[in-house]
Amino acid sequence: MEFLMMDWLGTPVWFWLSFLSIVVALTAFDLGILHKEDKEMGIAESLKLSAFYISIAMLFGLWVWLQKGADMGMKYYTGFFIEKALSIDNVFVISLIFTFFAIPRKYQYRALLWGIIAVIVLRGLMIAAGAAIVQEYYWTLYIFAAFLIGTGIKMLFSGDQEMDVAKNPVVKYISTHMRVTKELHDEKFFVKVPDEKTGKMVRAATPLFLALVVINLADLVFAVDSVPAIFAITTDTFIVYTSNIMAILGLRALYFALAAMVHRFHYLKYALALVLVFIGSKIFVSDFLMDGGKFPPVLSLGVTFALILGGIGFSLWKTRGEVQASNPV
């Protein structure tokens, strides 16, 4: 029992084990029961499942609030909302990847699920490295803050740049250094096919595996923004990791509802840009204008939530004509 009460990265071991148990249980339930068979997910099912994941994340945040206090609870919710909003932007890129590799909708969920499992590990490594650097060299937070401000300003003034999957160097490398089938083989990532020269059965990757690899690489790029953003809110490793993963867990469910209407969130990127500028500026305000005082977490949460909600509302209002045009009465 003493082991469970031991401190690991600033939080008792039993906290970490409880969180990991929730993640494993949700993943097993999702993959083994809800989607044991590959099938196309409709928008209604997507919204219901997304609501379920968001509810779990909210309840987990309440548990953090009760166990770690209101300050950490608000920081968890702030990190969760930022990551959730940033993930909406990811949906468009994921949709492009699936379209490029011609992945049917009924196989997309399984690819996303395995992608999420890889993300849980990769984000953990990135956050662990970031936490170690910040703990040893506090001044690196100023680099994170400046990066967030710069990224936010760039997002405000840069145009939309569509990802060119065909020119991705990893896709080119895998295609030339691995055997890759030209067609899908149901939900399989690898299959055995006859070698074109010898006729012997050899293992080959499928387009579904390539899509999975590119999605995970895309997430690493997205993490360059989201991980510094949450570190600018708190350096508590437990809050950083759990808020990130809880937001990502529901992405695969939310994807199918948003993929068909992602164009309606065009103006959300400007709200996200302002959020990044605000979060980055908060570090400098706390340390230099408030003499190292703590920036009020409730204000941070309120501004973040208001900007994201405002961005979503403005986007839906500005693009309402597109819906009317595509769905005439």
Q: What is the pTM of this model?
A: 0.81
Determine the pLDDT at residue 327: 38
Residue 126 falls inside a structural domain? yes
Residue 11 falls inside a structural domain? no
Residue 6 falls inside a structural domain? no
Residue 189 falls inside a structural domain? yes
Residue 152 falls inside a structural domain? yes
Residue 148 falls inside a structural domain? yes
Domain span at residue 238?
A: 21-321
> How many domains in the chain?
1
Determine the pLDDT at residue 326: 40
Determine the pLDDT at residue 37: 65
Determine the pLDDT at residue 328: 38
User: Please, which residues have CB within 8 angstroms of residue 43's CB and are 6 or more apart in sequence?
Assistant: 256, 257, 260
Buried/exposed code over 274-286 (b: 16+ C-beta within 10 A; e: otherwise): bbbbbbbbbbeeb
What would the pLDDT profile of 223-243 be if each residue is shown by its tens digit? 877 788 888 888 899 999 999
Determine the pLDDT at residue 290: 78
The CA distance from 165 to 275, in Å, is: 28
Residue 53 falls inside a structural domain? yes
Tens place of pLDDT per residue across the chain (329 aa): 777 778 777 788 999 999 999 998 988 887 766 656 666 677 788 888 889 999 999 999 999 999 999 999 999 999 999 888 887 767 777 888 888 888 888 888 778 888 888 888 888 888 888 888 888 888 888 998 898 899 889 888 876 555 566 676 777 777 777 888 888 888 888 888 887 778 788 888 888 898 888 888 888 877 877 788 888 888 899 999 999 999 888 877 788 777 767 777 778 888 888 988 998 898 898 888 877 677 788 888 889 889 989 988 998 888 877 644 443 33
- Cα 170 to Cα 93, 204, 225: the distances in Å are 16, 16, 21
Determine the pLDDT at residue 55: 94
Q: Tell me the three-class secondary structure of the chain, residue by residue.
A: CHHHHCEECCEEHHHHHHHHHHHHHHHHHHHHHHCCCCCCCCHHHHHHHHHHHHHHHHHHHHHHHHHHCHHHHHHHHHHHHHHHHHHHHHHHHHHHHHHHCCCCHHHHHHHHHHHHHHHHHHHHHHHHHHHHHHHHCCCHHHHHHHHHHHHHHHHHHCCCCCCCHHHCHHHHHHHHHCCECCCCCCCCCEEEEECCCCCCEEEEECHHHHHHHHHHHHHHHHHHHHHHHHHCCCCCHHHHHHHHHHHHHCHHHHHHHHCCCHHHHCCHHHHHHHHHHHHHHHHHHHHHHCCCCCCCHHHHHHHHHHHHHHHHHHHHHHCHHHHHHHCCC
Determine the pLDDT at residue 260: 67
Q: Which two tokens stand for residue 1?
A: 């029992």
Residue 138 falls inside a structural domain? yes
